[in-house]
Chains A and B, each alone.
Chain A
C-alpha cells in the first residue's frame, strides 16, 4: 500500500505485469474512489463550464462525457477532467485526487466570476468509483445489471443498478481497453466490488492496483496529471489540441492556446521508445545534439508490448516519428527514438 492523494492505495495485488496482462486479455477491477467529483448546477451551469474548461461542453447531450482541461489564463492545466452532462442545468467534473481541494477552490471562484445562476459543490465524498476494464468487462458487468450495456456508447453513461446498488455506469476508463467506471455510494461500494469479482471469477477478472493502472494508461498514451502536464505546460504543448473547443466563444486561457496553435509551441509532448537497453523514467533529462533540451514525463517497461516506452517534452521541431535523441540515465546518455502515440491500440 502507498499513500496517494491522502488515500491508502494498493500498488499491486498479484503483480503489475500479471494485472496488466489480465486487463489486456480478460479484465481487471480497480478501486479508483480517490478520484474527485465536482458538480456545477444552475440555469447558467453550461456557461460556467464553458468558461472554465477548454473543450466545447455545448456539444454534449445529456448522458454524454468529454475529456477536457481546467485551464489557467496561461493556457496551462489546473487539472485534466472528464465533464459529465447530467442534465441541461447540471454538470459533473471528475478530477484528479491530488487536485480536489485546489480544483474546487479554483472552480468555485471562477463560477462566481461568471455570475448568474450557477454554483459548484464538491461531491467527492458521495461517490466511490470502481473501474472494470478489459475485453471481458461487458459480459461480466452485464450479468449484474438490468441496464443494457450495449446501449451505452464510449464516453456515455447511464444510471441503474449493479448488484442491487443504485449506480451510475460510465463507459470510460484509463487503460486503453473497453470497460466501465461505476459510481456507487461509498457505503455500498464493497458490495459492488465483491459482486464483480465473484461474477468475473470464471472469466479471470482480477483486482488491479495503481501500478498496473499506470503502465496501462501509458501504453494507451493517456496523460497523467503531475507527470505529463501541470500548471507549467499548456494544452497545446501536451499535444491535446483535440480537447480544445476552438470554435466556442471563449474560455480561460483561450488566447494563449489559439496563439500557440497558430504560431506553434516551442515544445511538445512526444512518445518515445528506447533504442538502448534502459528505461527512461519521469524526471530524467533529455538531450538533443548534446544539449539538454527537455525532460521525460513518464516512462516504463510495458508488460504487454514488452518495450521501454515513455513520453517526453521535446523541442517541437524534433518530435517527428523517427527522430532520435538521448536520455540521461544514471549518468549515461541512452538512445531513444520518437514514435507515434498511442503505443497500444486495442483491436475493435
Chain B
C-alpha cells in the first residue's frame, strides 16, 4: 500500500530522494484524515528549510493543516499545477509531489514503508 521507494515521517509526509534532491508530498493516511483538499499554499523557490520546519499549508473542507519539511535543504521547485488542482492530493497522494528540495543535511529519522504502515495501524 505504501510505496517502498518512498520514505515517510511521523507527521505523514512522504519523501522521495533521488540524487540529492527530495520530492515531498503527504501520505494516503494524511489525505484520508484531511478529507476533500481545497487549498494548498507552498513556499517560494529558493527558501531554505530545516527538518521539521513548516513549508506550507494544506486546507480541506473541514480543517487546516501545516506541512513539515522531512529534510534540511533548499526549495528548488514548487508544483504549481498541483496548487491549481489540489484535489489531486486526494486522488493520487503518493504521486502528488508538492516541492523539490536540494538536500543539505542527513536523512535520519525517516521511516521506511513497513515502519510507516505500522505507525498508521
Chain A positions near chain B (C-beta within 8 angstroms) = 11-12, 15-17, 211, 215, 277-279, 281, 300-301, 303, 308, 330
Q: Bound state CA distance, A16 and B38, in angstroms?
A: 12
Flag if A277 contacts B39 (CB, 8 Å): yes
Flag if B61 contacts A301 (CB, 8 Å): yes
A16-B64 in contact given A278-B39, A279-B38, A330-B57 (Cβ < 8 Å): no
Q: Does B88 contact A (CB under 8 A)?
A: no
Flag if B64 contacts A211 (CB, 8 Å): no
Task: Flag B27-62 by CB within 8 Å of A: 1 or 0 each.
Answer: 000000001101100000000000000000101011
* A/B interface sample: 29 pairs, CB < 8 A: A11-B62, A12-B35, A12-B62, A15-B36, A16-B35, A16-B36, A16-B61, A16-B62, A17-B35, A17-B61, A211-B35, A211-B61, A211-B62, A215-B61, A277-B39, A278-B39, A279-B38, A279-B39, A279-B59, A300-B61, A300-B62, A301-B38, A301-B39, A301-B59, A301-B61, A303-B36, A303-B61, A308-B38, A330-B57
- Measured CB to CB, the nearest residue on chain A to B64 is A281
- Cβ contacts under 8 Å, A211 to chain B: 35, 61-62
Q: What number of residue pairs across chains A and B have CB atoms under 8 A from each other?
A: 34
- Measured CB to CB, the nearest residue on chain B to A330 is B57
Chain B positions near chain A (C-beta within 8 angstroms) = 35-36, 38-39, 57, 59, 61-62, 64
Closest Cβ–Cβ distance, residue B70 to chain A (whole Å): 21
- Cβ contacts under 8 Å, A281 to chain B: 64
Q: Bound state CA distance, A15 and B38, in angstroms?
A: 13
* A contact face: mostly helix, strand, loop, or mixed: loop
Of the candidates B35, B39, B57, B59, the one whose C-beta lies within 8 Å of that of A15 is B35
Interface centre among B35, B36, B39 (most CB of A within 10 A): B36
* B contact face: mostly helix, strand, loop, or mixed: strand
Top 4 closest pairs, chain A to chain B, by CB? A301-B38, A17-B36, A16-B61, A211-B62
Q: Bound state CA distance, A69 and B119, in angstroms?
A: 48
Q: Bound state CA distance, A17 and B86, in angstroms?
A: 14
- Measured CB to CB, the nearest residue on chain B to A306 is B38
Q: Bound state CA distance, A12 and B61, in angstroms?
A: 11
- Cβ contacts under 8 Å, B57 to chain A: 330
Q: Bound state CA distance, A77 and B38, in angstroms?
A: 33
- Cβ contacts under 8 Å, B62 to chain A: 11-12, 16, 211, 300
Q: Bound state CA distance, A278 and B45, in angstroms?
A: 21
Closest Cβ–Cβ distance, residue A22 to chain B (whole Å): 14
- Measured CB to CB, the nearest residue on chain A to B32 is A15
Q: Bound state CA distance, A15 and B61, in angstroms?
A: 10
Closest Cβ–Cβ distance, residue A310 to chain B (whole Å): 13
Q: Bound state CA distance, A215 and B35, in angstroms?
A: 13
- Measured CB to CB, the nearest residue on chain B to A12 is B35
- Cβ contacts under 8 Å, A300 to chain B: 61-62
Q: Bound state CA distance, A12 and B38, in angstroms?
A: 17
- Measured CB to CB, the nearest residue on chain B to A211 is B62
Known: A278-B39, A279-B39, A303-B36. 16 other contacts (CB 8 A): A16-B35, A16-B61, A16-B62, A17-B61, A211-B61, A211-B62, A277-B39, A279-B38, A279-B59, A279-B64, A300-B61, A300-B62, A301-B39, A301-B59, A303-B61, A308-B38
- Measured CB to CB, the nearest residue on chain A to B61 is A16
